[in-house]
Chain A
Amino acid sequence: MAGSQDSGPSPTSPAPVLPLFQRSWFAPTVLLAPTLLWLIFFYIAPIALMVWRGLMDTGLQGYIKIFSSDIYLKVFWNTLQISIITTIGCLVLGYPIAFALTVVGRRLQALILVLVTLPYWLDYVVRSYSWIVLLGRRGLINNILVGLGIVDQPLPLLFNLFSVCVGMIQVLLPIMILALFGAMSRIDRRLMLAAEIHGASRWRAFRTVFFPLSLAGVYSACLLIFISALGFFIVPALIGSPRQTMITQSILVLAETLLNWTDAAALSIVLLVATMVLTIIYDRFFNIDRLWGGDQR
């Protein structure tokens, strides 16, 4: 008997009836169930309800209003523009730091990681105010520039697109660095050695091997940052001007002070759909799992 079992099931023998917990679908389903239920009850259901009620009560009125009013189109454009600039800024600043993290020694790496994540302990509001101290008309940077005679008048650094992007980049940069670092750590360093020994200078090895291999991580990290940026409201409210009003700020005003829940819901749904569409497009071209450190395809 033992011998026949070792040789595996013969083609004619019926498939063995496995105990419930050994079936392939069982473990994932059981493990995911709490999360799924939580998501359905506290996330998907309320949103579905909100959309449904909105459509029932007021039809497409909210959506029509949003897409026909200049002010919301401007807010969409602001949000898109700020999010794109923030993403690019984070990438440009974060990529070299993330790359440096992969080449330095362990102790320096730990130190940089602590420094990178340190601002996270600070409140958004405090961080935004510190920009006022730096960028204001009487701020540190302008005082130095005027003091040195480089400029006659203080530069308008605060309460504009520049300061909003600077503030948002500061908040999101750690996430960008950590996401890129995670992706870069998975690149086999020996590939760089292989490139160098076969004739590539450090720079060419980086350009032809490391950089292309890091792109998947770059796309993932950028998506993450872009989507996070779409939902910002404290930073643009504190160190931006009304010209940089972002979607979430408008949603808050509509929902909390104007009590216009129809428009607020419509605006939220537009933001949500835009985010989902982006994510789906991304997933079609790249493997979304990479964001969470899944296997490279």
Chain B
Amino acid sequence: MRDRETEEALGILRDVLEETRGMDRRAFLTRLGAAAAGSALLSTFTSVLSSTAAKAAEEPVTVMGWGGPWKDAIMKALADPFSEKSGIPVRYVSPYDYSKLLAMDQAKQQQFDAVEVNGMDSTRMIRDNLGTPLDFSIIDKNNLSPEQLEYPNAIGACSVATVMIYSKKRWPGDDHPKTWADFWDQKKYPGGRSLQRTPVKTLEFALLADGVPKDKLYPLDLDRAFKKLEEIKPHIVTWFSTGSEPQQLIASGELEFTAIWSTRANDSILNQNQPFEIIWDGGASEGNAECWFVCRGCPNPTGAMKFLNFAASAEPQAAFARIIFAAPVNQKAYKLLDKKFAETMPSYPANEEKMFQIDFKYWVDNYEAVTQRFETWIQS
């Protein structure tokens, strides 16, 4: 059930996506900016005719999520077009801090209306019932794809993965590293490598390198994983904790190959034209677990529902993917993306099937204990 304004905003995004199909990120952003400016003029004109007062009085929706480029992408692809047409302002709060959300819920002082949380935290949110049931009289299910409704009280937001990339400058031919076993093989593939400073995914990679099939990973054999990790520890240049670290370090030649978030990998390859290649095999996919929620006890649930109704649609998801390379969960979005671009996305079926799904249920139950063990190990 969409009103005319939402339809208009989606239409503008659709037009821009179509016009720039196959073009790069910059071309898309430029065209989107122009369209936004044009529609702003238009909306000023129409809003004078329609009820200006009603729109000005709209209660804002407070959204919590990641900062930096992520925030920019959310604003451009989702929030601004939504506010433009609905008149509901979006207050975006960053940095991402799940503990804040939890603390506010415990204090019964929830300030966040809508949140986009990562796979781990969305599993926690579902476990602790921090979300509120979605109002499908506002959110139009017809515009969503079933993948987005995999989890209760949640709508799939985007799909990201952690993968291996290698430098084609270092290995131009076909003898490049192809598996985590290769990543572990310092003799065959000498060079700087980096892993994320977290046990999640890292232990899985170790087990894959040690020959565990990707469908037999969970529950993790921790002793075996740590034993395998011990082998590679001296060769790790750095254990990264931010997304930009591996991106910068492989670009500057400090690393020859590394684990990296798929969004950052694609930003390097598609946006910065770096000579890297993604190895989807053995990648860690978050699947459909990164979700939008409307928080329990939030101040503006109706506004949040309206925002989700817009944000989870195919057009914003496609636009978001074009800006920050986070794959859409809404499969309808793929119709708006060029095939070549679609093939770079972790939720693209051919890629997704090469990866393993992170078992967040396992991780939510074991996270603290394993992290303590991991940190003790890594710091010694």
Contacts and interface: CB of A to CB of B under 8 A. Distances in A.
Nearest to A71: B376
Interface string A121-138: 000010001001100111
B376 A258 contact: no
Nearest to A245: B379
Contact of B379 (A75, A138, A139): A75
B197 A242 contact: yes
A242 B379 CA distance: 5
A137 B254 contact: yes
Interface residues of B, number: 29
B373 to A, nearest CB: 10
Interface in A145-170: 158-159
B376 A237 contact: no
Contacts of A71: 372, 375-376, 379
A260 interface: yes
Contacts of A245: 375, 379
B379 A74 contact: yes
B47 interface: no
Contacts, number: 70
Interface string B250-269: 00111000000000000000
A237 B99 contact: no
A288 interface: no
A137 B124 CA distance: 40
Nearest to A137: B254
Given A71-B376, A132-B254, A256 B249 contact: no
A129 B367 CA distance: 30
A242 B248 CA distance: 19
A256 B102 CA distance: 10
Interface string B354-380: 000000000000011001100110111
A106 B89 CA distance: 52
Contacts of B249: 132, 136
Interface string B179-212: 0000000000000100001100000000000000
Contacts of B198: 257
Contact of B238 (A74, A129, A241): A241
Contacts of B226: none
Interface string B224-254: 0000000000000111011011001100111
B151 interface: no
B371 A257 contact: yes
Nearest to B375: A71
A155 to B, nearest CB: 14
A256 B239 contact: no
A261 B97 CA distance: 13
Contact of A132 (B102, B248, B371): B248
9 contacts: A136-B249, A137-B192, A137-B237, A159-B237, A238-B242, A243-B380, A245-B375, A257-B367, A259-B99
Closest 8 CB pairs of A and B: A138-B253, A242-B378, A136-B254, A159-B238, A71-B376, A242-B379, A258-B368, A256-B99
Given A139-B252, A158-B238, A238-B242, 10 more contacts: A71-B375, A132-B254, A136-B249, A136-B253, A242-B197, A253-B375, A258-B371, A259-B99, A259-B102, A261-B99
